[in-house]
Chain A
C-alpha cells in the first residue's frame, strides 16, 4: 500500500514541481506589472496620509463681512483618506467649519477618515461654504489583494499553456520515470 502511495506521489511530482516554478515566476511577473501599472496610473493626490493645515489670517471676519474673499484660503480642499485637517484661527473672532469650532487664537483638527465629497458650512469664506473632497487612499492591502487576484489567474493560464506547449512526456517525464524506477527498487 505505501508503495502505491509513493508511486502516486511520484506520478504527480513533475506537475507539482512545474506548478511551483510557474507560480514563483508568475508572482514575480505580476508583482512587477502591478507595481508598474500602479505607478503609471497613480493619481497625483494618492499619497500617504498627512496633516493639512488651513490658516485663518487675522482680519478674516472683517473681510468676509465686507464680501471680500481671503486669498490664502482656497474655495475647496482635497484630502486623502486618513489625512488630518487642522484649522488654525489667527483671527480675533471665533470661526467654524462644519463640525469644527475654532475659537479665536486656537486651532482645531478633524480626521478625514471616510472617502466622501461634501460642502461644509464655513464662517471664513464669503460663499459661507468650503468644499471638501476626501479621496480613497490606495493602501498596501489594496495592492496585495490585486496580487491575490492576478497571481493565481496568471499561474493557471501559464500552467495550462505549458502543459500544451511542453508536455510532461518529454525529458521531465523520463527523468521522473527513471527516479520512480530507482525508488521502487
Chain B
C-alpha cells in the first residue's frame, strides 16, 4: 500500500514537472523569425485616409495587431507580392485574423488616390486597408518610419516606378513597434510569429 502511494506521488510529481517544464520552454524558448525590436517602443502615430474615405488613426487600433508596409498600386513586384503574402498570412492564422489589421500606406500619393486604393487593395482581400493622405502628412509618416521614397523619371507614357523600403512592420496590441520583417520572408514564419503574439 505504501509503495503504491509513493508511486502515485512520484507520478504526479513527474507529470507536473513535465507540464511546467514544457510550458517554460514554450514561453522562454520561442524565437521570433523577424528582427525583434528590444525593448518594444511606441510606434509613431499617424492619421491618414483609407480607401473608403474614412480617417484611420494608428492609436485607435490599440488592442489589435497591425501589419504595416509602404507601397504603391502601380508597383510591379514587391507591393503586390507583399499584399499577396498578407493574404497567405491571413489564411494561415485563421480565426485570429480578426485581431490583425493588414495595412498598406502609399508612397505614391499622386497616383494612389482614395479611388485608386479602393479599386486595388480590396482585390487582395476586402479587409485589407490602403491609406493615403496629403503629401505633407505622408512625408511625416515616411520620416517617422524611416521610409525613403524615390520616384524614378517617367517614361514616354508617363509611367514611373517609385523606389522605397520593403520591410513589414509589426505593431503589437499595445501600439508598440515589435518586429520588422525583410521582404521575402516566408509567410508561414510571419504567421507563426503572429500566432505566438496573439496567444
Contact = CB atoms under 8 A, between A and B. Distances in A.
Contact of A94 (B146, B167, B183): B146
Contacts of B35: 99-101, 108-110
Interface in A63-122: 94-96, 98-110, 121
B146 A99 contact: no
Nearest to B143: A94
A126 interface: no
Interface residues of B, number: 19
B72 interface: no
A175 to B, nearest CB: 58
B14 to A, nearest CB: 34
B148 interface: yes
A61 B145 CA distance: 15
A94 B146 CA distance: 7
Contacts of B144: 94
B180 to A, nearest CB: 4
Interface of A is mostly: strand
Interface residues of A, number: 18
A101 B148 CA distance: 13
Interface stretch (B36-44, B49-57, B103-111, B132-140): B36-44
B169 interface: yes
B182 interface: yes
A101 B177 contact: yes
A105 B167 CA distance: 20
Interface in B26-66: 35-41
A40 to B, nearest CB: 36
B182 A106 contact: no
B181 interface: yes
Contacts of A107: 37-38
B182 A103 contact: no
Nearest to A120: B182
| Of listed A94, A99, A110, residue having the most chain B CB within 10 A | A99
A98 B145 CA distance: 13
A101 B167 contact: yes
Interface string A11-41: 0000000000000000000000000000000
B169 A108 contact: no
Interface in B155-194: 165, 167, 169, 177, 180-183
| Of listed B35, B41, B148, B167, residue having the most chain A CB within 10 A | B35
A29 B106 CA distance: 64
Nearest to B31: A111
A100 B36 CA distance: 9
Interface of B: 35-41, 144-146, 148, 165, 167, 169, 177, 180-183
Given A103-B41, A107-B38, 5 more contacts: A101-B146, A101-B169, A106-B37, A106-B39, A123-B146
19 contacts: A94-B144, A94-B146, A96-B165, A98-B182, A99-B167, A99-B180, A100-B35, A100-B180, A101-B37, A101-B180, A103-B37, A103-B41, A103-B177, A104-B41, A107-B37, A107-B38, A108-B35, A109-B38, A123-B146
